[in-house]
Chains A and B, each alone.
Chain A
């Protein structure tokens, strides 16, 4: 069974940085493309970005609102996905979910990031 556990969320001031982690188990993490999705309070789902598997090049793509500020990386030896968030804005306040893109058959429970002064 796919299990994804996000961590690293919290309260951060505008302009600050935060790194989220997503620990994966129950599947072959290194084979899967992985995505981050966020949901602002009371709002819909928003795709943040994706990283391909290393065998497929390990490249990343990002949504326009976060491009240049957020970086997705992975450590296949630790079965862990990361989201480095820099230059945070109040509009980045959201629950952040990690997911596997293999039929999107697993979602974590999310970690809340609050950007506020």
Chain B
């Protein structure tokens, strides 16, 4: 089974910009792996932010964007807010299976 990798933790200053990445043990991440990004705050269910690499839901704040960067999927947060402090998960789709990354704990400090 493929392994999906994310940074365990990142810190961003309020108003700053940070990029989270999502890599695959099988090689470069492409749009064909349909990268998704989820946000989860303590005690809450996950919320989907980005689907199919770069598409946003109606509830996704404009400061979040998804892309492919250097062979990985990327989630960029521009203008971080205190409420963006959360765990962020990506997942990739491999044939019949979906595989989550281990998550990135984002601290806004």
Contacts and interface: CB of A to CB of B under 8 A. Distances in A.
Interface of A: 35, 37, 44-47, 50, 61, 63-64, 97, 103-105, 107-110
Nearest to B45: A107
A35 B48 CA distance: 14
A47 B100 contact: yes
Interface in B58-109: 87, 89, 91, 96-103
B48 to A, nearest CB: 4
A27 B36 CA distance: 21
Contacts of B1: 63-64
Interface of B: 1, 36, 38, 40, 45-48, 51-52, 55, 57, 87, 89, 91, 96-103
B98 A35 contact: yes
A104 B36 contact: yes
Given A44-B102, A45-B103, A103-B51, A110 B45 contact: yes
17 contacts: A37-B46, A44-B87, A44-B100, A45-B38, A45-B40, A45-B89, A45-B100, A50-B96, A63-B1, A63-B97, A103-B51, A104-B48, A104-B51, A107-B45, A107-B46, A107-B47, A110-B45
A44 B89 CA distance: 8
A47 B48 contact: no
Contact of B48 (A46, A63, A103): A103
Given A44-B89, A47-B91, A108-B45, A103 B100 contact: no
Nearest to B51: A103
